[in-house]
Structure 1
């Protein structure tokens, strides 16, 4: 678990133009590449830097104030900041310039690029703690000391934010869409995404509680823990980095961060006992991380396309996962062991939601279908193939077994526990000029939720607006 450090600014680019032309170094030229041995600066990294960087960034010459002739100066970086971040190769400027596909940014600027296996070795050195030599301890990995709650039973109220610290928020040129929306099941608290931030408010009155920072970039997933004391936010910067972060709902304090992905995380959930975080990746993998020490507990590689949704059952017994081509799988919520497939969708599954009794999981997809699954045997208890024309974008169970959905037809719907349509609400198209959107752009609902007391249904839209309707 570690902080995601801010990406270094553009002026620092000149500080990493250090790999001279004609490097061509290969993995078999580096000492001790046995994968069972720790990767160290002296044995693995220094030979690369000495051969490729010494003319411009050695003891005699340090362009942009960067000296790579020894371990201490390499860790120090230059006046522009660090070039390596312990435990976070995806946040390290060194790896960014070695792998860049942009003209004029990839290093070395002239000769052949470093071999992929050499770059992977440098990545491993960073991710395993920047060891100087085989006798060195790892660098500070910036752990956050998160501990799961001793008890997460359903007695007692959830946390409510108060006196959140203010911070400067990014203003986007156009309205930022509501990419994530969540409601606590234990308290009148809801969360929506903004760029670099998460807004907290009362779902019934829309009274704001304040905001908390998400420096990783775009929060694409928000979900509250069963205890109501934690908020999980996952996302990142597409094709750059991704992480899942845990916050204290009452204070907004950042407690822990798990995962270090080379792409934004598009699916995530926290187990009811708060000991595991599951993430779904564009790499087609599902990964289970410990919230206590950040270690990877299990990897699921059953999916053959992007993992678009992951959800723990409220009792923690199951983990449901889904992907971009319509596959859904049910797993053991502790070990990740396979239980059974759920086959019905013909296109991408957009969301999964568990009923509070853990007996039923709902799924929705781009094929316009909503399905209520009996998890005992994978039987579709109810199947609505035309729930929303042109695709269903989200589904979330309410406290009384009702299901809220939204879709590309511009509507939000409420369904009974038996799968009968109860309510139909319309998202009115706004004038493009009022939302600073290009002419002809249609505004659609993106996310949906039901308040903890079942009195209000919420929906966010592509224009960054939040809609709400009172329920009888």
Structure 2
């Protein structure tokens, strides 16, 4: 168990400096009051002295009783029990890995149990009849957690007391993902200044082209392009922001991300012209990261996907779910609507790209030529060509209307292709990768490597007028190129308090 987890739920030990003090057992507030009273010397030999000491004695006894009550009160599931289960049990009993068919990430699932002891995992009020308690006790058969040290006696005792008190859930919905809820409650904030570089893995230009948004640590930073100054910081986000997208009208900002291996979400924020924003809603949740989010060109729908392999479509007007697409066998890491909004392309770690046709309600093309994870996907200007890039380092072009036939492979990078975009002419392809290069591929001419090598070139964004290209790097910097003049890039250091070395 980690030190942080221990501080969350283990009883607070007394301060050694309190030993021998009459008020050491009192709660902090009562302790302060007691010291104020004791500090006054009572009048000698008077009736007031007796009254004073009687009052002080009553206060001391009441304070001790209050302290004892606090130490023996019923444990809270979210405050006390959940950290124990997260650190010791969730690794084997979640939707990703439900050993013995036991998924305990919802409270209903925790109570129900798995293949062994189904229906008796928890018996509120009776720890001895609860299989969950039986297997965590010394000598439990089977002993849980497996492949980890046994729970400490105080942890077992706490869970026993919680079950004996009724095994109550103090969240909102017994069917919700309480693991995700617990991580959200931690409220770990974004740093004021960054002690080291944070890779920029997501970028987006505002629809009017005046601002750019960059991913940070549990936040987004918004920058005014004309001045290169920070306009705002949107905080309270997941540990990692994996993708961001503006709605076409600029009103909404969609954010996909998560705390890897723990929780994932798609959040919708109101986007204000002055660089501020307000959280509107959490659109989707999962027990691992969301990686991709995209608005349809007309702004009426939004698509999101991630580690659960599912693509979800929502209506923007109501934020209600419209469709679920389940056609990938591994993480879905990138999404792109066709220019007319009738199709959706996806890239997956399963080694394929796919195109879903909304009118037909089916996948109409699968691109399997990479034979390795596909990281990025994009539609050409007229929607007749789809570009993909992946771990094989190649950029490939496909015809979605010809059974996913590969049209060409214009070239690649020396490392993996992490992102790609069609250029402003609608025909050239711009790709970036973990070799730090940003390269332009166009028919009939050699590939052009843009000046200014990055650490890793994680992500690309093209301004609405098609003139400016931006790329986020592993060093926390954002490089900008003027695609018409093709001059040396200019650098924006998007990590407050940290300086990027050079363009």
Provide the TM-score with structure 1 as the length reference.
0.63
Give 1:193's aligned residue. 215
- Equivalent position SS for 1:100: helix
Give 1:407's aligned residue. 433
Normalized per residue, the structure richer in helix is 2
Q: 1:446 to 1:247 in 2, by over 3 A?
A: same
For 1:285 and 1:66, the matched residues in 2 are separated by 43
1:323 Cα deviation from its structure 2 partner: 1.1
1:375 Cα deviation from its structure 2 partner: 3.2
Superposition map of 1:82-231 within 5 A: 83=77, 95-101=82-88, 116=102, 120-122=106-108, 129-130=172-173, 169-203=191-225, 206-231=228-253
Query: Structure 1 residues 337-346 or 294-303, which shifts more?
Result: 294-303
For 1:289 and 1:93, the matched residues in 2 are separated by 36
Q: Which protein has the larger Cα radius of gyration, Structure 1 or Structure 2?
A: 2
| 2:406 is equivalent to residue 380 of structure 1 | yes
For 2:392 and 2:102, the matched residues in 1 are separated by 40
CA contact (8 A) 2:456 2:473 kept: yes
For 2:338 and 2:232, the matched residues in 1 are separated by 30
The one of 292, 306, 312 aligned to 1:281: 306
Deviations 1:320-351 (A, max 9, x none): 11211321111124785322212321211111
The one of 285, 292, 297 aligned to 1:260: 285
1:173 Cα deviation from its structure 2 partner: 3.9
Deviations 1:168-209 (A, max 9, x none): 645444210111112235433221111011112245763432
1:389 Cα deviation from its structure 2 partner: 1.3
Deviations 1:137-158 (A, max 9, x none): xxxxx9xxxxxxxxxxxxxxxx
Give 2:325's aligned residue. 300
- Equivalent position SS for 1:239: coil
CA contact (8 A) 1:413 1:421 kept: no
Query: Structure 1 residues 328-337 or 357-366, which shifts more?
Result: 328-337
- Equivalent position SS for 2:283: strand
Q: 1:62 to 1:208 in 2, by over 3 A?
A: same
Give 1:461's aligned residue. 473
After superposition, the CA RMSD in angstroms is 3.9
1:246 Cα deviation from its structure 2 partner: 1.8
- Equivalent position SS for 2:277: coil
Deviations 1:37-85 (A, max 9, x none): xxxxxxxxxxxxxxxxxxxxxxxx96657536xxxxxxxx5xxxxx55x
Deviations 1:257-289 (A, max 9, x none): 211111111222233344443222223232334
Q: 1:266 to 1:119 in 2, by over 3 A?
A: closer
- Equivalent position SS for 2:85: helix
CA contact (8 A) 1:363 1:370 kept: yes
CA contact (8 A) 2:286 2:308 kept: no
| 2:379 is equivalent to residue 354 of structure 1 | yes
Give 2:463's aligned residue. 451
Q: 1:389 to 1:469 in 2, by over 3 A?
A: same
Unaligned runs of 5+ in 2: 12-67, 93-98, 112-168, 176-180, 182-188, 485-503
Q: 1:129 to 1:383 in 2, by over 3 A?
A: same
Provide the TM-score with structure 2 as the length reference.
0.59
Residue-pair matches, total: 347
